[in-house]
Amino acid sequence: MNVLVLNCGSSSLKFQLVETDVDLMASDADTCKARGVVERIGSQALITLNAEGQPQRKLATALRDQGAALDFILRNLVLQPGAALPGISALSDIHAIGHRVVHGGEKFKKSVLIDSEVLRGIEECIELAPLHNPANLGGIRAARSLFGEGLPQVAVFDTSFHSSMPEEAYLYSIPYPLYRRHKIRRYGFHGTSHRYVAHRYRQLEGKEREATNIITVHLGNGCSACAIKAGNSVDTSMGFTPLEGLVMGTRSGDVDPSILEFLAHKEGMSLAEVDLLLNKQSGLLGLSGLTNDMRELLDEEREHGDRRARLAIDVFCYRVKKYVGAYLAALGGADALVFTGGIGENSAEIRRRICNELEWFGIALEPEANVAMTGGKEGVVSTAISRVKVYVIPTNEELLIARDTVRCVKAVPRRW
């Protein structure tokens, strides 16, 4: 099946066109036929298209919304004469659409075929993800109007992998009725990424799901850690929103909540402004005063010895280290620590700093293997005697969304 995977943000749309099938899953014979991103939707948009066997194209045009962006992509990839992708020459050659949906609340514990009840459910979660869910819904509606009602669409939620967390991990210690009344609890995000790398780890180790006891660390612009026991997420560092937990590109991660009121008072800010500060001006950017980009910070530190760049990196690594320690305790020990995400996959230096002095816990990096593991490579970076194996596994959320889409579509035979 050819599955169009859509990840719609408020002003961006990322997509992949993936050929995959339940029958192919065991052999990993999936192919990505095209991928790309539309940025700055709502004004003069920038479009990057990569199609199999064709040079990359960068385009610019005014696109008012997600519908216009999706229409533009399809015209340029599928409907334009000469644009032909292997096996795709008409919209009918796209067999299903898989959407990344950020928040599934407590309702969606796995991926689902979208119908009017599912749409209502995603709408109900808008108050939990006011920026993301409306954009995701915009993508679903745009796809429906372009492809028609008949094309199956599937929602894959960022939160659902973490729905297996026990109460002790997802409850905040605030008055319990507030959880009941407002659903204030920890949900966790990045679920598709943690689930994908856990699945890949199992394949590499030849393990059963039930025997998978690992810690996965997704370090990109957003960062989160996940404790996985018997294949299930039992704890994760992001909480009610993606703000909690690790230090990120522009998000603070954990802070004492009393800071909010104090800051609002001292700086004459509204609570909304403080929230924005913690989400957009903190993390690596806030600490360094330079950038949210880890590669640039590492360059600054190495080439100019910049003190604040070093500080930002140190705080970032220390926070990850603390979560690894916490999750080793939560799990009662783990078989592996898996790094993924742009930083986790590419930066040997960050992995080194995080794992430094964790030998007592049975975590020992093999320096040469660690340095060699960059640029999309996958494998073990720990020593032969490291009790906890350390892995680098590039994430592939789109592939997991495509596979879930096939699974959901094929589970309803009348449709397929």
Interface with ligand ADP (CB under 6 A): 220-222, 249, 293-295, 298, 341-343, 346-347
Q: Which is nearer to ligand ADP, 288 or 346 (CB)?
A: 346
Min separation Cβ 343 and ligand ADP, Å: 4
Min separation Cβ 294 and ligand ADP, Å: 4
Q: How far from the centroid of its chain's Cα atoms is residue 168's Cα?
A: 24
Instruction: Report the DSSP beta bridge partners of residue 37.
Output: 14, 48
User: By C-alpha distance, which of 107, 90, 130, 111 is closest to 196?
Assistant: 111
* 158 is an active site residue: yes
CA distance 58 to 37: 10
- The tokens describing 244, both together, are 């909690």
Q: Which is nearer to ligand ADP, 197 or 409 (CB)?
A: 197
Q: Which is nearer to ligand ADP, 285 or 358 (CB)?
A: 285
What's the chain's Rg over C-alpha atoms? 22
Buried b (16+ CB within 10 A) or exposed e, 285-316: bbbbeebbbbeebbebbeeeebeebbebbeeb
Q: Which is nearer to ligand ADP, 164 or 221 (CB)?
A: 221
CA distance 1 to 20: 6
CA distance 363 to 382: 7
Separation in Å, CA 93 to CA 66, 75, 221, 254 = 21, 14, 34, 46
Min separation Cβ 242 and ligand ADP, Å: 10
CA distance 120 to 49: 33
Min separation Cβ 342 and ligand ADP, Å: 2
CA distance 147 to 17: 15
Q: Which is nearer to ligand ADP, 21 or 293 (CB)?
A: 293
Q: With contact defined as beta carbons under 8 Å apart, do 94 and 147 qualify?
A: yes
* Annotated catalytic residue within 21, 93, 158, 275: 158
CA distance 23 to 183: 39
- From edge to edge, which strands make up the β-sheet containing 336-340? 232-236, 223-229, 214-219, 336-340, 389-392, 379-380
3-state secondary structure of 230: coil
Min separation Cβ 376 and ligand ADP, Å: 10
User: By C-alpha distance, which of 5, 23, 24 is closest to 15?
Assistant: 5
CA distance 210 to 208: 5
Residue sitting closest to ligand ADP (CB): 342
CA distance 213 to 228: 5
Q: Which is nearer to ligand ADP, 76 or 396 (CB)?
A: 396
3-state secondary structure of 339: strand
Min separation Cβ 306 and ligand ADP, Å: 15
Q: Which is nearer to ligand ADP, 252 or 346 (CB)?
A: 346
CA distance 411 to 404: 11
Min separation Cβ 339 and ligand ADP, Å: 11
Q: Which is nearer to ligand ADP, 105 or 283 (CB)?
A: 283
DSSP string of 114-163, one letter each residue: --HHHHHHHHHGGGTSTTHHHHHHHHHHHHHHHH-TTS-EEEEESSGGGG
Min separation Cβ 375 and ligand ADP, Å: 8
Q: What amino acid positions are annotated as catalytic residues?
A: 158
